[in-house]
Structure 1
Amino acid sequence: MTSFDTIQYLWNQQSNRVTVSSQLEELIKLAEKKTRKIKTRQYWNTGILGISILLFVWYIAVFTGLRASWFHTGILLMLLSLVLRLVIETRSLVTLNRIDIRTDFRNYSKHITRFYKSRKMVHYVATPLILSTYVTGFCLLLPVFKKSFSTAFFVYIVISGGCFLIVFTFFMIWEIKKEIKMLSFLRDIDI
């Protein structure tokens, strides 16, 4: 190889490394952006769940107290389902915060795959169980609502509660699909 060919070869290799390095940096920035979106959603989820739990506890403390009745069982089921979801979301957030995107690929891939699998379990196993527990709790409140409120207001509670649960379920499915898509992207990154 002549010296010019050697210089040309080294120059070409340098150019390729810069291109690969810039592509790698762009990929890492995109992964960081997607991870930030997931973290932001989880912070919002934990905040909303925390406020909801505080409102339930306040309602129980101020208006009902703890007694043994179907109404109280319903409220406690609703409260416990929210607390369980808060614990799951907080645990997921802590796990996600521990994953370093800028670490070596093998380590990152192992951690994000584990996180991805845990989130799929949350979405496909825990979420339906939590939602069904919440709905069961709401249904246990309905007989007391029927006795306590006028027929028109009771019908309003049933219709608005049912519509809320349907809309909330569709919104939750939409959000879960978006999160699974982002997590799939993060898992499939090939650095």
Structure 2
Amino acid sequence: MNNYNELKEQWGRRSQSILPANGATEIIKKGKSIRRKQLIGQVVLGATCILLIGFFFYISAYTNKTVSIGLILMIGSLTLRMLVESFFTFSIKNFRPDETLHTYIEKLKRYYKSRLVINYLVTPILFISYIVGFIMLLPAFKQNLSAGFYQYVFYSSWVIFFFLAVLIAVQIRKELSLLRELKKDIE
């Protein structure tokens, strides 16, 4: 995403009387903050996906249809989320500093609207599919784990899912707040 930051810096250095003196700096700072958070999210999703793939082969999940489907749902939702984020990273590279201010603003508005769709539609669907995949694993856990450990996995997973949902909601709010500020700064 260095291209995005470079793009923001180049665009900010353009001589435009519309921007306040510190406007370009603020835009660059907000853009870097959004990208850094997205990158951290990508790393966490990728690590989780790798762990689930390893777990899939470690337990020979392909021998049990329900476990296979559950793990594939979990891995698929994480992979799809990473692909969506990668697409947006690629789309931001199309922001060129030599464009007119109007074109640049329109692209930024489209980006903002698409992030709304991702954050309010795609993310909840993928999160729910991840949970459904986990629920599909519960019968296998119950069958193969001791009663106490199964209870621990069962209850702790719901606590983790709750806190994860809260964390996702907070991060979405922060990102949308930054995007709104960025949008406001350029208008």
The TM-score range, normalised by the shorter chain, is: 0.7 to 0.9
Q: Which moved more, 1:22-31 or 1:144-153?
A: 22-31
What stretches of structure 1 of length at least 5 have no aligned partner? 1-19
Residue identity in the other structure for 2:73: L
Separation in structure 2 between the aligned mates of residue 29 and residue 39 of structure 1, nearest angstrom: 15
- SS of 1:24's partner is coil
SS across alignment from 1:189 = helix
Could you report, residue by residue, the CA deviation over 1:95-132 in whole angstroms, capped at 9, with x for unpaired residues? Answer: 23433568532122111101001110001110110011
Contact 1:42 1:93 in 2 (8 A): no
- 1:46–1:86 contact (8 Å) kept in structure 2: yes
Structure 2 counterpart of 1:41: 37
Q: Which residue of 2 aligns with 1:54?
A: 50
C-alpha displacement of 1:137: 0.3
- What are structure 2's unaligned runs of at least 5 residues? 1-15
Paired with 2:61 and 2:128, the residues of 1 have a C-alpha distance of 24
Q: Which of 149, 153, 158 is 2:154 aligned to?
A: 158
Aligned equivalent of 1:84, options 80, 84, 90? 80
Q: Distance in 1 between matches of 2:17 and 2:46?
A: 43
Aligned to 2:9: none
Give yes or no for contact 1:32–1:101 (8 Å, CA) kept in 2.
Answer: no
- Look up the match of 2:3: none
Q: CA RMSD in A?
A: 2.0
d(CA) in 2 for partners of 1:23, 1:69: 59
Distance 1:101 1:49 in 2: 31
Q: What is the TM-score of this pair, normalised by structure 1?
A: 0.83
CA contact (8 A) 1:53 1:82 kept: yes
> Following superposition of structure 1 onto structure 2, how do residues 95-174 of structure 1 map, counting pairs within 5 Å?
95-100=91-96, 103-174=99-170
Higher Cα Rg, which structure: 1
Matched residues, number: 172
Partner of residue 176 from structure 1, selected from 166, 172, 176: 172
Alpha carbons 1:28, 1:102 under 8 Å: kept: no
Q: Determine what percentage of the aligned residue pairs are the same residue.
A: 24
Mark the CA change 1:118 to 1:98 in structure 2 (over 3 Å): closer, same or farther: same
The one-letter amino acid of 2:46's match is G
> Which whole-Å CA distance do the structure 2 matches of 1:21 and 1:98 have between them?
24
SS of the equivalent of 2:59 reads helix
AA at the equivalent of 1:94 = F
Task: Tell me, yes or no, if the aligned pair for 2:19 and 2:186 is still in contact at 8 Å.
Answer: no
For residues 53 and 190 of structure 1, do their structure 2 counterparts lie closer, same or farther at Cα, with a shift above 3 Å needed? closer
TM-score, with length taken from structure 2:
0.84
Structure 1 equivalent of residue 182 of structure 2 = 186
